[in-house]
Amino acid sequence: MPADSDPRSQRALRLAVGTALCLAIGFGLDLPIPMVAPVLGVFLLASMNRPLSFKAGLGLTLVVLFTTASGLVLSPLLRYYPVSGVLLIGVGLFLAFRYGVRGGNNLVSMFLVIGLTMISAAGTIDFRLAATVIEALVKGLLVAVLVLGLCHWLLPEPSEAPAPPPPVALPEPEASRMALRAALVVLPAFLLALTDPLGYMPIILKSVSLGRQSCVTAAHGAARELLGSTLLGGALAIIFWCALSLFVSLWMFFLWMLLFGLLAARKLYRLSPTRHPPSFWLNTLVTLVILLGQSVQDSVAGKDVYTAFAVRMGLFIAVTLYACLMLHLLEPRPWAPRKHGFFRRHSFGSLKRS
């Protein structure tokens, strides 16, 4: 592939600029749960090499609205029949992840998982809280879709860039096995969130990210990838916080996020190659955004930021260790060279130079 048609530079810049813009817009406009916008922006920008049309963006927003509202239906069941409700949530998580690994739309799968966990947990406490979470997800997605279109307008794909390979569906037994372990990764965080939905929202987002990552991570080296990316994301969040504290403003918040996002994106797209796969760096960036966003909200609320960060990081590590255990206990049988998964099906299959 000629150097001028290599799409990796544009993709890395789009990911960094888009994440920083979503972060600045989410906090600048004081959206409900403002860290949702940059988290969704990371997933959209990393998985889509083409901008969404207005019709597709509106359709995706409506799909998100209906999929996340599915959690509201299960909230009364969780409140009055908790055992049956948790079992139904577990089955729903399995089916949502299975839909994704069988070649379905991964964004729809992700929002089904979020709706079944975040919305239903919030609905057990207060219907208005669940409605606030739905509002946060819809507004966050709208911001992410608009930023995706803006970044593609500013940094378009080279005309010679190859199209991403079509999705590859896993065989039925392997798809079920991967969906089961992804559901088991998310379920404990959901049970924890039932005790304090608003306080444990970051844990649910982290577990959803780990569940998605478990679909593309082999059991061999799982601890190094899952735990390593979590620890690196926490370390970067500490460095980011210290740098931001030198001069606190929304403008500096944007610039620091742009810098850290670019560092992660260069490694994710192999512009600065490492031994770690793209999923490692995506999980690192998502962890950074979640921890940093929640710390900023803690600061605004007058909480002890450092104590809250330590507790949250400890929970992140615990959830990650549990995810590693699930990967080892439910390791799928090898069926072919690992060309499946979210990242290979979308934007990373064409990164190597020919």
How many Cα atoms sit within 13 Å of 155 on the Cβ side? 18
For residue 155, tell me if it sits in a domain. yes
With respect to residue 283, please indicate whether it lies within any of the assigned structural domains.
yes
Whether 352 is in a domain gets the answer: no
Whether residue 245 lies inside any domain: the answer is yes
Which ranges in the chain belong to alpha helices (H)? 8-28, 36-47, 54-80, 82-101, 106-114, 120-125, 127-154, 172-193, 201-214, 222, 228-246, 250-268, 278-300, 305-329, 342-345
Q: How far apart are CA 214 and CA 328, in angstroms?
A: 11
- Assign 93 to helix, strand or coil: helix
pLDDT of residue 354: 39
The count of domains in the chain is 1
Q: Give the CA dihedral 200, 118, 298, 261, nearest 10 degrees.
A: 110
Contact 323, 188 (CB under 8 A): no
Which pLDDT score, from 0 to 100, does residue 59 have?
A: 77
Q: What is the pLDDT of residue 216?
A: 66
- Parent domain of 280: 3-332
What's the burial of 221, exposed, middle or buried (CB within 10 Å: 0-12/13-18/19+)? middle
Write down the pLDDT at residue 221: 65
pLDDT at 342: 43
In a domain, 338, yes or no: no
What is the model's pLDDT at position 353? 42
The answer to whether position 295 is within a domain reads: yes
Q: What are phi and psi of 194, to 5 degrees?
A: -65, -25
> Helices (H), strands (E): how many in the chain?
15, 0
Parts of the chain with a pLDDT under 50: 1-3, 335-354
Identify the pLDDT of residue 179.
87
pLDDT, residue 63, reads 78
The answer to whether 315 and 205 are in contact (CB under 8 A) is no
Would 153 be classed as within a structural domain?
yes
Report yes or no on 337 lying in a domain. no
Helical (H) or strand (E) element with 55: helix 54-80
